[in-house]
Structure formats: structure tokens, C-alpha cells
Amino acid sequence: MILVRPSFEILSIMGVGITDLAEKSLRLIEEAGRTCYKSGSPLTSESSKKFVKKLNDLGHESVLEHSAMSVKLIIDRGVSHELVRHRLCAFSQESTRYCNYKGEVTFIIPPWCTDLGVGEYELPTNEILNPFTMEWLWAMQDAEDHYITLLQKWTPQQARSVLPNSLKTEIVVTANFREWKHIFKLRCAKAAHPQMREVMIPLCEECKKLIPVIFDGIVY
């Protein structure tokens, strides 16, 4: 059994590496926005920031759909089931039908299990843990044991039926900036699931650093 924490990695923005994503993405949005107003002003890195900020402040967010961001998330299956309900995204997810976890199953540690470390984990353990953390650990161990046993006769797509929501999954999400703003507003909010907030708030903060003119207005 392997225990990990959720994480994210921004892969690209409109196929551009994140190093120079801000300037190129904002310039594309500015060019699209100026088409609406027949504005022929020369495009520069500074003009793009000002123009996109003005559109954002005016609520003219449709132009944000001209640039998109791809993010790879490592989360638990339960969180991924919520994430894929955002319909204006493209998703590519690790398949439990075809992936065989006969070596070791990897689970995502819930944020409320603060007394657990990451890495390989074997039970029984001599560590002093919260009894409810131990209850979760035993459930994960049982799921792994049953899954590996079933693989002796069943295929991965059959044996997966005993795997829990805490199973680690990797998913690549591509969405335009307007949809990412929508996702952050919903999934960073106080009412969102704690495990969703655990990964979405850091991702939102990273986006604020990379392209503040688009994402700075998001509060939670």
C-alpha cells in the first residue's frame, strides 16, 4: 500500500510552456477582444495586460475562452467524480479498467488524517495514530488485499469493484480560462469538499502568480 498527498502540475497553456505563457496567452485574448471593438492599436505585452484587465472588469469574459490551460491532477477517485461534472472541459483519466495495480495500490491521504506520512505503508504498525486514522488505514489495506486476491481469477476491470473512493487517480484537465475561473469559484469556496479545496486552492494561487490579470479577482 502506498499513501500520497494530492498534487497538481500545469502542463501548458494553449500548447505553450508555462515559462512564457502569460504574454502569449494575453496577447491572443487581446487580439480576439480588439476584433469585437474594431480597435487597431498595436499589440504589446503591456497593452495586453491593460486590455484584458479592462475586459475582465467589464465582465466581458467570453474573450477568455480563446486561451486554455491543461493541468495534470493527482487526486482521489471521489474528487475526480465531482471534477468531471464540469462539462466545458476535456478530460483524460487513468483507467481502472486497464491499469493493473497488482504490485501495490496507491491511495490519497484525506486532509483530516494529519498524522499520516507519505510513502509505502504496511500494517500492522507500531505508530501511535488516531483510532479513526487507523480505521481508514485498515479499510485501505483490506481493499488492497481483496483486489489483489481477485486478480488471481478476475480481470482488472472486474476486480476494481472493491476499490474505494480514496484510490489515487491521475487526470489531465484542459479548459479555457473562463471555465477555469468558474471552476475555481465553485471548487475553492468554503462549501466545496475539503479534498477538492485541498488541490484547487493551491492551483488557483499558482494561476494568480502566473496570470494575475485574469485570476486575481477570485476570492474564497
CA-to-CA separations, 54 to 1, 64, 161, in angstroms, rounded = 51, 12, 51
Residue with cell string 491499469:
99
Would you give the end-to-end CA distance of the chain in angstroms?
35
Catalytic residue among 27, 160, 178, 187: 187
**Sequence spans of domains, the chain:** 2-6+75-89+100-168, 7-72+169-215
Q: b/e string for 45-80 if b means 16 or more Cβ within 10 A?
A: eeebbebbbebbeeeebebbebbbbbbebbbbbbbb
Q: How confident is the model at residue 103 (pLDDT cuts 50, 70, 90)?
A: confident
Q: Is the pLDDT of residue 59 over 70?
A: no
User: Do 62 and 179 touch, CB atoms closer than 8 A?
Assistant: no
Task: CATH number for 7-72+169-215: choose from 3.20.20.70, 3.30.1360.170, 3.40.50.1400, 1.20.1560.10.
Answer: 3.30.1360.170
Give per-residue pLDDT as tens, 142-193. 999 999 999 999 999 999 999 999 999 999 999 999 999 999 999 999 999 9
Give the C-alpha separation, 81 to 83, whole Å.
6
Task: Look up 27 and say whether it is catalytic.
Answer: no
pLDDT of residue 48 exceeding 80, the answer is no
User: By C-alpha distance, which of 115, 162, 107, 108 is closest to 134?
Assistant: 115
**What residues are paired with 75 via a beta bridge?**
169
pLDDT computed for residue 204 by the predictor: 96
Q: What DSSP designation does 16 have?
A: B
- Closest listed residue to residue 1, CA positions, set 157, 159, 143, 155: 143
pTM of the predicted protein model: 0.85
